[in-house]
């Protein structure tokens, strides 16, 4: 994901933009893999679901388009969930740097 867009998005507060920069910078160092299922609907379109992120669905006229679309949808789902998680955190203001580590070693891979 091009996190630069999230950083330049003026609808995000300065704190959100810093949060995205910190998170996305760390994610750039990690390869993330997700399980997906692919089906063909009655109209012949490919319908793709990321089973690791409930509710994350996409489709496409071709298999390639469907996979490209689900990749974008996964990034969108992760961004949305990070934003919601950030909004729900009640972190008091500190004058010191706070480092947070995420353990994603338990993920499943395709």
Residues 40 and 56 both lie in one domain:
yes
Q: Say whether pTM exceeds 0.75.
A: no
Residues 50 and 26 both lie in one domain:
no
Cα(65)–Cα(59) distance, integer angstroms: 8
Structural domains of the chain, count:
2
Is 59 within the bounds of a domain? yes
Residue 63 confidence (pLDDT) above 90: yes
- CA distances (Å), 41 to each of 46, 48, 56, 74, 83, in order? 6, 10, 17, 21, 32
Q: Which domain holds residue 2?
A: 1-31
Is 22 within the bounds of a domain? yes
pLDDT at res. 1: 44
pLDDT in tens, 37-55: 999 999 999 999 999 999 9
| CA neighbor of 77 nearest in space, from 11, 26, 32 | 32
Top pLDDT among 12 and 71 is at 71
Residue 110 banded pLDDT, cuts 50, 70, 90: very low
Report yes or no: 48 and 69 within 8 Å, Cβ to Cβ: yes
């Amino acid at each position: 994901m091009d996190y630069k867009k999230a950083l330049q998005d003026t609808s995000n507060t300065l704190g959100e933009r810093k949060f995205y920069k910190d998170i996305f910078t760390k994610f750039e160092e990690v390869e993330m893999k997700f399980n997906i299922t692919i089906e063909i609907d009655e109209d012949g379109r490919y319908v793709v679901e990321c089973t690791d992120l409930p509710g994350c669905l996409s489709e496409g006229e071709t298999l390639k388009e469907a996979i490209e679309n689900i990749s974008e949808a996964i990034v969108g789902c992760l961004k949305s969930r990070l934003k919601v998680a950030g909004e729900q955190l009640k972190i008091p203001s500190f004058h010191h740097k706070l480092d947070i580590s995420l353990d994603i070693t338990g993920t499943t891979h395709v």
